[in-house]
Amino acid sequence: MDEVAPNPKRILLKLSGEALKGEQIFGISNPVINDIADEIKQCHDLGVEIAIVTGGGNFFRGNRQKDLDIDRASADYMGMLATIINGIALQDVFEKKGLATRLVSALEITEVAEPFIRRRAIRHLEKGRIIIFTGGTGSPFFSTDTAAALRAIEIKADILLKATMVEGVFSGDPKKIKDAVKFDKISYADILSKELKVIDSTAITMCKENNLQLKIFNITKKGNILKAITNKEIGTLVN
pLDDT for residue 28: 95
Domain residue spans of the chain:
10-238
pTM over 0.85: yes
Q: What CATH homologous superfamily does 10-238 map to?
A: Acetylglutamate kinase-like (3.40.1160.10)
Please name which of 160, 186, 235, 205 lies closest in space to residue 10, comparing C-alpha atoms: 160
pLDDT of residue 175: 77
Q: Can you give the pLDDT at residue 154?
A: 98
Q: What's residue 5's pLDDT?
A: 44
CB-based contacts of 180: which residues, under 8 Å, 6+ apart? 170, 171, 172, 173, 174
pLDDT at position 65: 60
Q: How many residues does the chain have?
A: 239
d(CA 35, CA 204): 29
* Mean pLDDT for back-to-back runs of 10 residues, the chain (239 residues): 61 93 90 96 95 93 68 91 96 97 96 96 98 97 96 97 90 81 91 86 94 93 89 85
**What pLDDT sits at residue 52?**
98
Q: Give the pLDDT of residue 239.
A: 85
Q: How far apart are CA 203 and CA 181, in angstroms?
A: 23
Largest CA distance in the chain: 53
Q: Would you give the DSSP letter of residue 64?
A: G
What pLDDT, on the 0 to 100 scale, is given for residue 96? 97
